[in-house]
Amino acid sequence: LSAFSSLDRSALYKSSVHGQSHIERVILLGSLIAEGCALDEADTKLLLSICSYHDVGRVNDSYDLNHGYRSSLRIAKLTGYQGDDLRMTQAITTAHSKHDADLENTLISYQPHDFERCLNLARIFKDADGLDRVRIADLDPAYMRTERGRELVPFAHSLWEQYVIYEKRVSNRATSSGNQSES
C-alpha cells in the first residue's frame, strides 16, 4: 500500500493511543473496508489519506470534539489536495470527531460537489477509525455504519492483539539490548 510508504510519520500525533500504531491500523482497516465496499481507486486514495492524517490535530488523547477540525486545517499541506478532493477530505476529517447526529450538517458545511459520495466515504472512514476502538476496549459493533465494518470486528480484535504482541517484543528487545550494553 502506498498509504504506508508515503505516510509523513513526522506529522503524526505522538501517542500510544492515537499515534503511529493507531494510524497504521486505521489505514489497514480502511483499505479492507474500501475493498469490501468496492470503492474505486480515487475514492480509496481519498479514504486512505483521511485514515493517514485524521488525528494530526490532536493535542491530547482525551475526548475532544474539535481535533478533527484542527486536523482538517493541515490536510491540504499533508496531501496536496485542492478543490473538491480537499473539501471532501477536510469535511470528513472534521466530521469524524463529531457525533453521528452532526455528520450530515458538518459535511454540508464544506459544500462537497457530490454529497452522497462524501457521506459514503465519511461512513466508511468512521467505521475504519471506530474498529480500532478495540485498543481502548470500547468497540460496540452496533455503531458500525457499514456491513463490511461489522464483518471486520473479529479481525480488528486480532489485529490489535498482534500489535500488542509485536510492541512487547520490541520493548523486550530494547530492554535486553540496554542491559547487555551495561555489562
| Predicted local confidence at residue 4, as pLDDT | 84
What's the Rg (C-alpha) of the chain?
17
Q: For 91, how many CA atoms within 13 A lie in the half-sphere containing its CB? A: 30
| Predicted local confidence at residue 17, as pLDDT | 87
| Predicted local confidence at residue 167, as pLDDT | 83
| Predicted local confidence at residue 2, as pLDDT | 85
Are the beta carbons of 88 and 110 closer than 8 angstroms?
Answer: yes
Q: Over the chain (183 residues), what is each successive 10-residue block's mean pLDDT?
A: 88 91 96 97 97 96 94 97 98 96 98 98 97 91 95 96 87 71 52
| Predicted local confidence at residue 40, as pLDDT | 98
Q: Phi/psi zone of residue 92: left (φ > 0), alpha (ψ -120 to 50 degrees), beta?
A: alpha
Q: Phi/psi zone of residue 15: left (φ > 0), alpha (ψ -120 to 50 degrees), beta?
A: beta
